[in-house]
Amino acid sequence: MNTTNIVVIAIVVVFFVLRMMPVKGVKNITTEELKNLLKEKDKQFIDVRTPAEYKSNHIREFINMPLHQLSMKAAELSKEKEVIVICQSGMRSIKASKQLKALGFKNITNVKGGMSAWN
């Protein structure tokens, strides 16, 4: 393997590692921890999957706000309340957490493993 191939592979690995790393200032919880929070009225529960995914299976307390619409719909959320974000596997909710952070939200929680980890 030549040096160019090694550099390209290293760049690709770094790219994927950075995309999967937790967002600074965003709390991560398990689905078990989520179960204890669902009754709390001072939280905002956001499901960033597509409407079709949401319709097929969702947690009652979560509202659907697809990732591609999040920046437009974020104005409907309170920056004063905690936002708990879920998706199918945890990847889109990490992206959503980054978007919310950039929009000035301070109290963001990502559900690790997403709906795939929900029992």
Q: Does a structural domain hold residue 8?
A: no
Ranges in the chain, pLDDT < 50: none
- CATH code at position 84: 3.40.250.10
Domain count, the chain: 1
| 29-50 pLDDT tens trace | 999 999 999 999 999 999 999 9
Residue 69 located in a structural domain: yes
Determine the residue type at 92. Answer: R
Task: For the beta carbon of residue 61, count every other beta carbon within 10 angstroms.
Answer: 16
Q: Would residue 19 count as lying in a domain?
A: no
Provide the domain limits for residue 61: 24-117
CA distance 85 to 98: 11
Query: Does the residue 41 lie in any domain?
Result: yes
d(CA 51, CA 39): 24
Mind telling me the catalytic residues?
87
pTM above threshold 0.85: no
Q: Does residue 10 lie within any of the structural domains?
A: no
What does DSSP assign to residue 99? H
